[in-house]
Structure 1
Amino acid sequence: MNETTSQDELMNSMKVSKAVAQMAIPSVISSLVTVVYNMADTFFVGQTGDPLQVAAVSLTNPIFILFMAFANMFGMGGSAVASIAMGEQNEKRVKNTSAFVTYASLFVGVIFTLILFLFMNPILSVFGANVQTYDLARGYMLHIAYGAPFIIWSAAASFVVRAEGASKEAMIGSMIGTFANIILDPVFISVFGMGAAGAAIATTLGNILASLYYLWYFLKKSLRFSIHPKYFQCKNHLLTQVCATGIPTAIFSALMSISTIVLNQILVAYGNAPVAAIGIVFKANMFISFLQMGLANGVQPLLGYNYGSGNHVRFVSIERFTKKCCLIVGVLSTILFFVLREPIIRLFISDADVVHYGVLMLVAYMLSGPVIGLLFVNMNCMQSTGNALPATILSILRQGLLLIPLLYLLNALFGLNGVIYGQALTDYIAVIFSIAIWVVEKKKFAI
């Protein structure tokens, strides 16, 4: 049995639990690698014992989230479009999709680099940097800026590679960048004494190495994809379908960036310790949400392929099995984090004030952990059917129209103790809406 036949069996006829495991486990590992990757900078900067360094990394976090917004748009959108094209046996469109994702990602990355270099000072002011954290945050952003094309493309490429059924290869790419970052972080931060700026250099170098791996994959390993310039095009609705399909994920990340800026602006009024604490909590809580996001993202090619081929019974079986897995993983990981809440914060830093705020915030943020996976699966189901609008609405609600007003309202009513519960409250509302919307959408598609 050749490799192409094996991948067709995976998408078409393999037992659902086995197919989900084969696709989702590498995706979950990749997601956890991403969590470790994101934790690494905060962890090693925290080992300096300087809360201001940690706060500086926290303040610049919206930039990285914004990079991920475009990476997710191109990656998730490209993965969905490519999966449907594979189901339809449209080989040329598969190649067009991978080429489009590659060059669009690099172009947007260069634009980001120019914007950050030209407008770095006003951007940092908007992010909430003050006299104590401004120079530290600027040093971090400076080195993240020129890494933008590599950060965006390496993340987008991992989604596209996974659409071909090559989950292991996507995982390897993620691990290369992460391990490089973990190795280089202490070198630049502590050995060279560069602090937050050293963390940014390590992050950029890790993404450059990951990009080189994906370049090799597309040139030498891929069975269906190509990044040859001759396949790059925006016509035949390719641009609109990739962007429209991926835009819910992009909006989710972009609004997360905006809400993070709003949250930092609110928290900085209470001092730099809460700002440092929320940066740690964001990274720690990613473990719970990314476990479930990895499950949901891993099965997206299966969903897209079976929708494209008209196998709706298999589509529903994959959806239901994945949701059960998300619920189990969500409950267990939330319990684990609740039991270990203080040691988790102390793992990053021992500053008493930061630990105090961090424990309170982590408990508040993990409240939606058991059910957040349902939202991710429902959104991926919508995207896999090429119906991006409902998923877009959910993204806007979760990270924008609901969260941002709630943050201001809870701050006005209950102060800092109210603000930290805004995300969990928003998550539950979004999960309920996603269930209701997906029930309606399934009827439209006769699924």
Structure 2
Amino acid sequence: MNETNLMSKMKISKAVATMAIPSVISSLVTVVYNMADTFFVGQTGDPLQVAAVSLTNPIFILFMAFANMFGMGGSATASIAMGEKNEKRMKNVSAFITYASLITGIFFAVILLLGAKPILQIFGADKQTYDLAYGYLFHISYGAPFVIWSAAASFVVRAEGASKEAMIGSMIGTIVNIILDPIMINGLHMGAAGAAIATTIGNILASLYYAWYFIKKSKCFSIHPGYFKYKDKILTTVCSSGFPTAIFSVLMSVSTIVLNQILVVYGNAPVAAIGIVFKANMFITFLQMGLANGVQPLLGYNYGAGNIKRFRAVESYTKKCCLIVGILSTVLYFVFRTQIIKLFISDPEVVNYGVTMLIAYMISGPVIGVLFVNMNCMQSVGRALSATILSVLRQGVLLIPLLYLLNAVARIHGVIYGQALTDYIAVILSTIIWKQYQNSITKEKDSVK
């Protein structure tokens, strides 16, 4: 496929479909990937095992924070470089993302292995869940470099227009994980620790696939050490462009820790339930996030090329798609809410909590995609600060105090509505902010002409 034709000339609906469908599939593969651990651990019938996986979920989210920062930031930076026909910078970006991901992963591995006990205590592990949670933490720790780089690489590969290859890489990790989960968790009776081993092996194999792609198949990118550099604004541009997505994930990790600390007061059943709901609700969220992330190279390329009319057409069409799939998926989840929770576990207490929590989390499902598209638009045109502020508000400044407030006012029944309330506030704010940027961007490009 001619990348220039795809990015600048192809019919909007076809271009969006070409880029977004593989991205959506990759996102849904990620959902299945994340659900797999909880699903197979749930088949043990032990709520404590499920609670242990839920308590350690912030670790994986933290890995994804840096993967998203390098991946989304690198994708945005590389897309603009492609629009400007700057081949050397494209190779510098891909090499930087590779080695920055690996170095960051090694750093996290060391921190987690040395500080496991205090970290798990902060996460809310008690005497019943500590040993189970430690098993998961230990085995996911040494997989950190591969988890981070394989996720970051998928974004960069997609920026080249190779959405199919990015999807294949994601599917390799997921399929391996799904195959190994029942073997490790139930067959070898390793429980939560087995889930972490399966996850690590899956990411190692996905990393090997992406290494092969960059070395043998990529036309624009390289992971050769000779191209690695952080000067010439490589580091600052990549990190600032990807920072909104990263801070979103970091604060999601923090808010998950806070939420677990609040819920564990009511017992381990609510902790297990919220872990299941968090994973299940990812389908609605990641479906729309996949759409938004998939078109990011289109947005970045056309902004770099000065084609604002096409930029806006891509934005508008993607938002309509997000609204449609958001509404349909939310309705589907509402109808089958009980069956969805029972897929993971049959414990009556956990199921009752889970159904109530799932309904609360679904409230923002129809509109959350608008937020992701607005944030990607901001990142694609270099307005990363506003997108960062929105992320901070959604997962930190607004959500965390709101969780404590709702707990004080309505206890557990109030806490579970905190995320939906902050989602709606963030969607409204992002729409207002992005509208203000649109006119200034048009004037900026016109002045250049």
TM-score by length of 1: 0.99
AA of the residue aligned to 1:62? P
Cα deviation digits, residues 280-323 of structure 1 (max 9, x gap): 00000000000000000000000000000000000000000000
Matched, 1:122 2:115: no
Distance 1:241 1:219 in 2: 24
Distance 1:175 1:227 in 2: 22
**Structure 2 counterpart of 1:380:** 376
Distance 2:382 2:211 in 1: 28
Within the candidate set 244, 247, 255, 2:243 is matched to: 247
Cα deviation digits, residues 308-360 of structure 1 (max 9, x gap): 00000000000000000000000000000000000000000000000000000
SS class of match (2:363): helix
Cα shift at 1:442: 1.0
Cα shift at 1:404: 0.1
Matched, 1:280 2:264: no
Distance 1:234 1:28 in 2: 31
Cα shift at 1:190: 0.7
**Structure 2 counterpart of 1:208:** 204
Within the candidate set 339, 346, 349, 2:335 is matched to: 339
Matched, 1:64 2:64: no
Cα shift at 1:441: 1.1
AA of the residue aligned to 1:228? H
Within the candidate set 293, 301, 312, 1:297 is matched to: 293
Cα deviation digits, residues 233-268 of structure 1 (max 9, x gap): 011011000000000000000000000000000000
**Structure 1 counterpart of 2:385:** 389
TM-score by length of 2: 0.98
**Structure 2 counterpart of 1:260:** 256
SS class of match (2:295): helix
Matched, 1:403 2:382: no
Cα shift at 1:31: 0.2
AA of the residue aligned to 1:266? I
Distance 1:361 1:18 in 2: 38
Distance 1:387 1:76 in 2: 14
Distance 2:154 2:246 in 1: 16
Distance 2:88 2:245 in 1: 26
AA of the residue aligned to 1:319? E
Cα deviation digits, residues 35-83 of structure 1 (max 9, x gap): 0000000000000000000000000000000000000000000000000
Within the candidate set 423, 430, 442, 1:434 is matched to: 430
**Structure 2 counterpart of 1:363:** 359
**Structure 1 counterpart of 2:447:** none
Give unmatched runs, 5+ long, in structure 1. Answer: none
Within the candidate set 17, 20, 23, 2:16 is matched to: 20
Moved over 4 A (4+): none
Cα shift at 1:156: 0.2
Cα shift at 1:113: 0.3
AA of the residue aligned to 2:253? S
SS class of match (2:230): coil
**Structure 2 counterpart of 1:191:** 187
**Structure 2 counterpart of 1:105:** 101
AA of the residue aligned to 1:414? A
AA of the residue aligned to 2:15? A
**Structure 1 counterpart of 2:227:** 231
Cα shift at 1:446: 1.3
AA of the residue aligned to 2:96? F
Cα shift at 1:386: 1.3
AA of the residue aligned to 2:163? S
Cα shift at 1:443: 1.7
Distance 1:249 1:179 in 2: 26
**Structure 1 counterpart of 2:157:** 161
**Structure 1 counterpart of 2:418:** 422
SS class of match (1:427): helix
SS class of match (1:246): helix
Distance 2:437 2:237 in 1: 18
Cα shift at 1:387: 1.3
Identity across the alignment (%): 77
Distance 1:111 1:443 in 2: 43
AA of the residue aligned to 2:231? K
Matched, 1:93 2:89: yes
Cα shift at 1:218: 0.2
Within the candidate set 30, 43, 46, 1:47 is matched to: 43
SS class of match (1:235): coil
AA of the residue aligned to 2:165? E
Distance 1:389 1:196 in 2: 38
Distance 2:139 2:71 in 1: 24
Matched, 1:151 2:150: no
Q: CA RMSD in A?
A: 0.5
Within the candidate set 423, 426, 443, 2:439 is matched to: 443
Distance 1:49 1:342 in 2: 17
Distance 1:201 1:341 in 2: 30
